A and B are shown apart, each in its own frame.
Chain A
């Protein structure tokens, strides 16, 4: 009995001990769990004891030798051209760079449309844009790029605008060359039910400029994705964005909106069919209708009637104006009109279109202007957009406007952007960087032939944190021969050269007589250069290589300015380097009787033009004037020997969207013609004035809108005409004018 008890007792104790171990273990695990959850102590990657002994991923000699020099590069390049064709096209394998070399450079040829050809409105606009661009050539031999005359915009076989037999026709073109160096524009591809990306003909090695491109079929660095635009899209100019002010707080009445078709079946229905889920009737309005297509009632479901009713309650335009974000879901195809519409309306697009290669994605940083959603995460969209802070809303919204006006507001801009993107690829070492494409005023107004250096442009000083240079170049436009030493130009030379900011003077000799000998000019403290303007008025704004400073002071030979006036204007220009800053103000106005623009030199309370007879501006505008503007406008200037200053104002205002700046009190910058004067100054001639009226209208029609803007102030020195001792005033001379 005793032995048994001892035995039992021993067993009991063992049990207890075992139990203890069991509990202990459990508790420890519990503890571990608790401390882990509480402290979030993540188990890091171990700090190996033998870390220092680990081998390198590659021997340095191996890295430098890199498996030897490889195959013959020449052979490899040839082999590539054979392998990487069609869907694998890249510029280096499918594009003939040889065609784009000097002397002709980047020229675009458009096949003349055949007589019987039906060309859609949109394609006609595209062709016009190419033909009016500065790259157009009518000679196919000097062309670098070719654009088809056949309308390839709508490749939906069910469409009335579908052009049949494209394949056979293009193969008949002697220049087709399997599509090399050709650009094919397309807006719609594929048809019901799959809407594939097939164009219905063999594109070969041609570059596709296509809307609704899918990333999978997009040949990176080769194709260009363009936006879908309607046939009402303007050829030129185009409407400005709808944002006129940055209201704070920036949120509008509705947070998010959508109004459009709901697809019950087929491609794209996954997303469109789910959109109604996020509708809350308050700040999120997502309206869908089933009523589209002929047999919609056949597919109709339980929601349809209610949805259709709700759909009619809201107006699309009103929603566009009053919503902070706009849903841009895919339709049957990836892109939709909605995209450009919301961009223009400053309604930040929220994209739900997986796999869409966004328009001009090569160059535009879309994540700064839109919210890229994911179709799979539709239900997260409301919380995502709610979380966007006010700073970001302000920035996104302004950026939609910037992009709209820079690249999308007209067919001209869309086509030109396409061409410029291709051109940047062809001359990759003289091309715009991403910053130029994405900052104001946009890539189209940045000509990389001028410079690839950001600091050489008038637009980026703030972004780079630098200020414009401390010196200027005076360019004096001389038209009358030099006969006496008391001529106004002599006085002007003296006054200009006295300015401490003047680094050089260029005299642009545009007289009938040959320029006088050097000794005829007075000695100068700064270099004096005389160049021949070949008697063309437009030569005034030629990008003379001699101009080394950022600032140009443009003067007429008979301009009267004091040195202190020049200095003051230069100071002001340094605060506004992207604008024209000068003395003689003029104004334009709309004449409702004549239904045309008018021009006035009368003294008024506002001005929109500052004449370049006495004005500062950035030298880059010389380059834009001579290379960006069409030769037809420059020809007009040369023919009439007039209006070059108005054209310059048009140009600068179209770039900046801002008026010029008038400085100080002086308005008359020339001596009034004396009655007994034998020779009338050209500007005193009434015909001269009518010409200028006409110019304003011609220019406005080329720009497609009126870029000039009015300003109501002028900038005076701080103590101008104040009741202070003159001794205190830095620009006291200005008060005596």
Chain B
């Protein structure tokens, strides 16, 4: 600034007075200066930017380099937490806004070292390893933003995990000094060990205005449901000791108590249980002969016998987790890690992440008063359920307890789910361990409905150029009472469909859709013209189905709207010699697929086929001009977990799956190709979703000795 002023005031006055002989000298000088200016500019420009970015990314600094902040004695103290706070009263939702990703943005304050006026730090530990891990995990996640103006949630870098190491008043003042504190609005504090002696409050004692608290050890009186988040007390042992997952099943001990700080009253009760039930119980305590220190933390004793902790936890089916002075216990984490089912006796305790986790599937919660009945209660649980719980316990630990990162991410996801409830994770996503997630199915059409007959079905006929056969099919189908509409998918780009006047006269609307490419997938496109739920996919050469058979097929579909209901059935088999799947079209006693040359199904599956087909299956089908029906069978079986329904007796189909090769006797190659499809699809799906059944559907009075004219569907199997 000063430079430009100088230049401006002296410069213009100087130049007119210059003599000619000096002019060249000046010009040269200026040029040199100008060049120098540009050169230095460039010089300044490049190295500087490199240096500055280096400073940002390679921030190899010590925590002790963090700036020191002095807290004036008179600095304001926030109010105590307001127990009536809820998301709609104490949380500023406008900061989060509507965003298409439905993901909140989290800002972390830079680290500062707060000291009081005389220079004593507010916390005896400062930043702890665990809190640092937590903050780095958040900073590495999708939630993180370093732009304070875009943040929805703020996380102070002041470590309040353990209240015992804090100076309460000064910590509170430090919080209030944060630049965006604003009465704690949208601030999230993590605390695992709340309260202090003698009465140990169940929530952090630091006054914190409206800040959200992710706390370990909430009781139902301090926990603000739907606002706070209950988190586990992290056990640093889990990072030190590697306990490999054990197969669920009965273990050496039935009940194990490994806690060292159990109140005498409880210990007496436990001893009584031990007397009654003997070896099934193992009651461990501190080792009196070991010196204090790290070793004692990893050892437990019973009558002079020494056991390794936490390894011993893996030897028991159930592990007792009793409350101590606090409600939240780090033991819970150890117990879960060992795949031991926790027996939690801590009245009024809000279990970790209970907002989303179903603890009844991983633990047994018993009122403290019922401790004497513990053995009977646990004995009444079926073995298989205990195994499930062991597996579930281990999975909870892996997913939500195992690291500070897991704890932090789960907490943020829970808050995220509250802010964007319409994008929240489901119960299954939270609670089902991978092994169940992998094998279970949640059908998109899960409600048991038998849709009314009235809207009927839409027949979708795929055709290329066999007009005569097509017209015959149309004429036949049009006799079916429940037919609502006929849709002809004209897959031939070189030829126009015949004139309107040439088409057979039918009572229902007939529409022809011309496709852009000759692709098999076109038959499964969710055309807007299909207005009914039920779709009958039919080839242009299927003329051997009677009207009764088709109507009956529709009636069966109404009772199974989530399945493929079709006529020719096929089977997949495991070829032991070749070690792969084989396609089978022989006369078999079993069915796992129905051909879509003639099949009813829900229009929803058209959407799935067109838009949600996994991998490159769709392209494979179009490239090979084959197997679109197998792909559809895979898709439906995979998403519903159910087998298709074959209706009515078998008939001599004119090899309906060989339309591409037009009846030519290339059976062998055809079968090989179909087998290949099955193997290909099974590898894309990562599993074999097809289900094998031994039944087919017939009318109730099929082949019965009963007057034909009284039968609803007399004409079955006649063609």
Binary contact track B68-99/A, C-beta < 8 Å → 1, others 0:
00000000000000001010110001100010
Beta-carbon contact of A45 and B108 below 8 Å: yes
Beta-carbon contact of B41 and A24 below 8 Å: yes
Beta-carbon contact of A13 and B440 below 8 Å: no
Beta-carbon contact of A42 and B144 below 8 Å: yes
Given contacts A23-B41, A67-B326, A665-B704, contact A57 B384 (CB under 8 A): no
Q: How far is the CB of B508 from chain A (nearest CB, A)?
A: 19
Could you say which residues of chain A place their CB within 8 Å of the CB of B544?
Answer: none
A372 at the interface (CB under 8 A from B): yes
Q: How far is the CB of B467 from chain A (nearest CB, A)?
A: 31
Beta-carbon contact of A465 and B695 below 8 Å: no
CB within 8 Å of B: which A645-666 residues:
656-659, 662-663, 665
B135 at the interface (CB under 8 A from A): yes
B197 at the interface (CB under 8 A from A): yes
A545 at the interface (CB under 8 A from B): no
What's the interface size class on A, roughly? 35 or more
Beta-carbon contact of A69 and B604 below 8 Å: no
Contact residue among A47, A51, A56, A69 (Cβ-Cβ distance under 8 Å from B264): A69
Q: How far is the CB of B364 from chain A (nearest CB, A)?
A: 6
Among the 9-residue stretches A115-123, A288-296, A450-458, A483-491, the one with 4 or more Cβ atoms under 8 Å from chain B is: A450-458
Q: How far is the CB of A442 from chain B (nearest CB, A)?
A: 12
CB within 8 Å of B: which A557-582 residues:
568, 571-572, 575
Q: How far is the CA of A561 from the CA of B427 in the complex (A)?
A: 45
Beta-carbon contact of B589 and A729 below 8 Å: yes
Contact residue among B62, B98, B703 (Cβ-Cβ distance under 8 Å from A48): B62
Q: How far is the CB of B48 from chain A (nearest CB, A)?
A: 5
Chain A residue, CB-CB nearest to B44: A24
Could you say which residues of chain B place their CB within 8 Å of the CB of A526?
Answer: none
A303 at the interface (CB under 8 A from B): no
Binary contact track A585-614/B, C-beta < 8 Å → 1, others 0:
100000000000000000111110000000
CB within 8 Å of B: which A361-385 residues:
365, 367-368, 371-372, 374-377, 380, 383-384
Could you say which residues of chain B place their CB within 8 Å of the CB of A160?
Answer: none
Q: How far is the CB of A557 from chain B (nearest CB, A)?
A: 26
Beta-carbon contact of A11 and B294 below 8 Å: no
Q: How far is the CB of A335 from chain B (nearest CB, A)?
A: 16
Contact residue among B147, B235, B696, B704 (Cβ-Cβ distance under 8 Å from A718): B696
A445 at the interface (CB under 8 A from B): no
Contact residue among B41, B261, B607 (Cβ-Cβ distance under 8 Å from A66): B261
Chain A residue, CB-CB nearest to B14: A8
Contact residue among A14, A24, A712, A728 (Cβ-Cβ distance under 8 Å from B587): A728
Given contacts A45-B139, A435-B427, A658-B448, contact A56 B88 (CB under 8 A): no
Could you say which residues of chain A place their CB within 8 Å of the CB of B555?
Answer: 712-713
Q: How far is the CA of A567 from the CA of B179 in the complex (A)?
A: 75
Interface centre among B4, B22, B221, B445 (most CB of A within 10 A): B221
Q: How far is the CB of B716 from chain A (nearest CB, A)?
A: 11
Among the 9-residue stretches B121-129, B485-493, B494-502, B574-582, the one with 4 or more Cβ atoms under 8 Å from chain A is: B121-129
Contact residue among B220, B293, B533 (Cβ-Cβ distance under 8 Å from A90): B220
Tally of chain B residues near chain A (CB < 8 A): 184
Chain A residue, CB-CB nearest to B358: A434
Q: How far is the CB of B252 from chain A (nearest CB, A)?
A: 23
B679 at the interface (CB under 8 A from A): no
Beta-carbon contact of B451 and A244 below 8 Å: yes
B243 at the interface (CB under 8 A from A): no
Beta-carbon contact of A711 and B559 below 8 Å: yes
Q: How far is the CA of A606 from the CA of B612 in the complex (A)?
A: 38
Could you say which residues of chain A place their CB within 8 Å of the CB of B161?
Answer: 57-58
Beta-carbon contact of B441 and A365 below 8 Å: no
Among the 9-residue stretches A70-78, A145-153, A163-171, the one with 4 or more Cβ atoms under 8 Å from chain B is: A70-78
Q: How far is the CA of A712 from the CA of B557 in the complex (A)?
A: 11
Among the 9-residue stretches B170-178, B431-439, B470-478, B664-672, the one with 4 or more Cβ atoms under 8 Å from chain A is: B431-439
Could you say which residues of chain B place their CB within 8 Å of the CB of A368?
Answer: 426-427
Chain B residue, CB-CB nearest to A51: B132
Could you say which residues of chain A place their CB within 8 Å of the CB of B126?
Answer: 54-55
Given contacts A245-B533, A367-B424, contact A720 B297 (CB under 8 A): no
Could you say which residues of chain A place their CB within 8 Å of the CB of B237?
Answer: 60
Binary contact track B585-626/A, C-beta < 8 Å → 1, others 0:
001111100000000001110110000000000000000000
B360 at the interface (CB under 8 A from A): yes
Contact residue among B33, B52, B193, B364 (Cβ-Cβ distance under 8 Å from A28): B52
Contact residue among A48, A375, A657 (Cβ-Cβ distance under 8 Å from B63): A48
B462 at the interface (CB under 8 A from A): no
Q: How far is the CA of A665 from the CA of B235 in the complex (A)?
A: 64
Contact residue among A376, A384, A440, A714 (Cβ-Cβ distance under 8 Å from B446): A440
Beta-carbon contact of B431 and A435 below 8 Å: yes
Beta-carbon contact of B427 and A717 below 8 Å: no
Beta-carbon contact of B449 and A246 below 8 Å: yes
B561 at the interface (CB under 8 A from A): yes
Q: How far is the CB of B162 from chain A (nearest CB, A)?
A: 5
Interface centre among A14, A63, A380, A433 (most CB of B within 10 A): A63
B641 at the interface (CB under 8 A from A): yes
Q: How far is the CB of A656 from chain B (nearest CB, A)?
A: 6
Beta-carbon contact of A84 and B221 below 8 Å: yes
Q: How far is the CA of A730 from the CA of B234 in the complex (A)?
A: 59
B331 at the interface (CB under 8 A from A): yes
Chain B residue, CB-CB nearest to A221: B220
Could you say which residues of chain B place their CB within 8 Å of the CB of A55?
Answer: 125-126, 128-129
Given contacts A20-B41, A57-B129, A465-B441, contact A70 B263 (CB under 8 A): yes
Given contacts A57-B125, A401-B447, A712-B699, contact A248 B533 (CB under 8 A): yes
Beta-carbon contact of B703 and A216 below 8 Å: no
Beta-carbon contact of B382 and A721 below 8 Å: no
Beta-carbon contact of B233 and A720 below 8 Å: no
Beta-carbon contact of A720 and B696 below 8 Å: yes
Binary contact track A376-404/B, C-beta < 8 Å → 1, others 0:
11001001100110111011001001100
Q: How far is the CA of A251 from the CA of B436 in the complex (A)?
A: 32
A529 at the interface (CB under 8 A from B): no
Chain A residue, CB-CB nearest to B589: A730
Beta-carbon contact of B132 and A54 below 8 Å: yes
Binary contact track B515-554/A, C-beta < 8 Å → 1, others 0:
0000000000010000001000000000000000000100
Could you say which residues of chain A place their CB within 8 Å of the CB of B135?
Answer: 45
Contact residue among B40, B98, B296 (Cβ-Cβ distance under 8 Å from A61): B296
Contact residue among B40, B358, B369 (Cβ-Cβ distance under 8 Å from A435): B358
B381 at the interface (CB under 8 A from A): yes
Q: How far is the CB of B718 from chain A (nearest CB, A)?
A: 13
Could you say which residues of chain B place their CB within 8 Å of the CB of A48?
Answer: 61-63, 132
A428 at the interface (CB under 8 A from B): yes
Binary contact track A204-221/B, C-beta < 8 Å → 1, others 0:
000000000001101011
Contact residue among A50, A434, A440, A605 (Cβ-Cβ distance under 8 Å from B700): A605
Binary contact track A68-99/B, C-beta < 8 Å → 1, others 0:
11111110010010001000101010000100
Binary contact track B555-581/A, C-beta < 8 Å → 1, others 0:
110010100000001000000000000
Interface centre among B88, B161, B691 (most CB of A within 10 A): B88
B510 at the interface (CB under 8 A from A): no
Chain B residue, CB-CB nearest to A400: B447
Beta-carbon contact of A215 and B29 below 8 Å: no
Could you say which residues of chain B place their CB within 8 Å of the CB of A456?
Answer: 382, 384
Beta-carbon contact of A603 and B701 below 8 Å: yes
Beta-carbon contact of A713 and B698 below 8 Å: yes
B303 at the interface (CB under 8 A from A): no
Contact residue among B138, B235, B447 (Cβ-Cβ distance under 8 Å from A402): B447
Chain A residue, CB-CB nearest to B34: A16
Interface centre among A54, A66, A244, A712 (most CB of B within 10 A): A66
Given contacts A54-B132, A464-B436, contact A24 B48 (CB under 8 A): yes
Beta-carbon contact of B650 and A719 below 8 Å: yes
A19 at the interface (CB under 8 A from B): yes
What would 11 more interface pairs be, CB under 8 Å, given A50-B62, A428-B366, A716-B702? A21-B44, A27-B41, A42-B145, A46-B111, A220-B223, A245-B451, A367-B421, A384-B98, A394-B444, A429-B364, A720-B649
Q: What would 19 A/B residue contacts be, using CB atoms closer than 8 Å?
A: A42-B145, A47-B60, A55-B128, A57-B128, A57-B193, A67-B326, A97-B369, A245-B561, A246-B447, A248-B606, A372-B422, A392-B422, A435-B361, A435-B431, A455-B385, A603-B701, A657-B449, A659-B559, A719-B650
